[in-house]
Amino acid sequence: MIIDIHGHYTTAPAQLGAWRDLQIAFAAGDRDAPDPVALRISDDDIRETIEANQLRLMNERGSDLTVFSPRASFMAHHIGDLAVSEMWARICNDLVARVVGLFPDRFLPGAMLPQSPGADPKTTLAELDRAVNDLGVVTANLNPDPSGGLWTSPPLTDNSWYPIYEKLVEYELPAMIHVSTSCKPQFHTTGDHYLGADTTAFMQLLKGDLFRDFPDLKFVIPHGGGAVPYHWGRFRGLAMALGKPELEEHLLGNVYFDTCVYHQPGIDLLTDVIPTGNILFASEMIGAVRDIDPRTGHYFDDTKRYVDVTPNLDENQRVQVFEGNARRVYPRLNRALEARGL
């Protein structure tokens, strides 16, 4: 089985974006709050956007199951206040749950959290509870920088985050550490902002000792871990300088990387540097890079092709990356598959 642990509803019906525009105008003080009841998206609207896009490409590329969450760049936690984020998260999580309900054999849901700059992380717990108990999510996306590029939140090792971590451990949910839109013009959201944030999250974890307090907590750092695998020697050296153990002992019992790396040399480096047990297959499809690579004739984000041919994995290791690691890191996903006899 090919399990893609990183997919977003980037092709959601246009009504969603139009409603969000009204909410953004409300947050700016330009109009009244839009009524969520006024957002009307039919099952046929959802089917059309999924069948023509994600599902078509999954079938073409040989992917069986996608862990599907709301569009990351749409989270935009820096817009409005906590109430705005709470309403937006609920709408987006409900929409993803409807996708899963229409295509239960091909998608499992992940949740976005209603984070807001300056808000106590505990304010996200009600939506996290609802997403698990009512929607059946198997993961949650955790934004380390709700301020949208200003980095006003404490590092991920700060105990203000602990209520979220306690709940994640209780529910056996891994969290994908995923930022959203940058509000700073110096950064491109899906370029340096995303990849820089992935690298920053890893460094925050390296500097601390979070997993002493939460030995069962699991984090996935997406986009191949940002710059981390490429600079593995630097991070090992920094760990030594800070008096930390080797990274395999210090972090790799809890931190995982996906394969959203869009060229063969990148996947080859990732699979050479990072232990196989810490690599999860993912494509981010349909995501940041949607074009065909003129050098290969294939889509940049067809990452299965890269994993299939990298010389750094034998066939048993490829099975780990494609399926086994996801089942181990995502217990609720594994139980959902076992309930289907898979």
User: 210 near 177, Cβ under 8 Å?
Assistant: no
User: pLDDT band for position 287 (50/70/90)?
Assistant: confident
The amino acid occupying position 93 is N
Tokens 């206040």 -> residue: 81
**Helices and strands in the chain, H and E counts:** 16, 8
* pLDDT tens-place string over residues 3-40: 999 999 999 999 999 999 999 999 999 999 999 999 99
Residues carrying an active site annotation? 284
Cα–Cα nearest to 251, from 269, 228, 271, 268 = 228
* pLDDT tens-place string over residues 186-196: 999 999 999 99
Between the alpha carbon of residue 171 and those of residues 87, 130, 220, 222, the distances in Å are 23, 12, 16, 21
Please state whether the predicted TM-score (pTM) of the whole model is above 0.95. yes
Q: What is the average per-residue pLDDT within 265-287? A: 97
**pLDDT over threshold 90, residue 180:** yes
Edge-to-edge strand order for the sheet containing 219-221? 3-9, 65-70, 107-112, 139-142, 175-177, 219-221, 255-258, 279-280
Between the alpha carbon of residue 331 and those of residues 3, 320, 326, 337, the distances in Å are 13, 15, 8, 10
Averaged pLDDT of the chain: 97
The DSSP line for 55-87 is HHHHHHHT--EEEEEE-HHHH-TTSS-HHHHHH
Which CATH fold topology does 3-339 show?
A: TIM Barrel (3.20.20)
**pLDDT over threshold 90, residue 278:** yes
**Rounded to the nearest 5°, which phi and psi values hold at 63?**
-95, 135
Residue extents of the structural domains in the chain? 3-339
Q: Give the pLDDT of residue 305.
A: 98
* pLDDT tens-place string over residues 116-161: 999 999 999 999 999 999 999 999 999 999 999 999 999 999 999 9
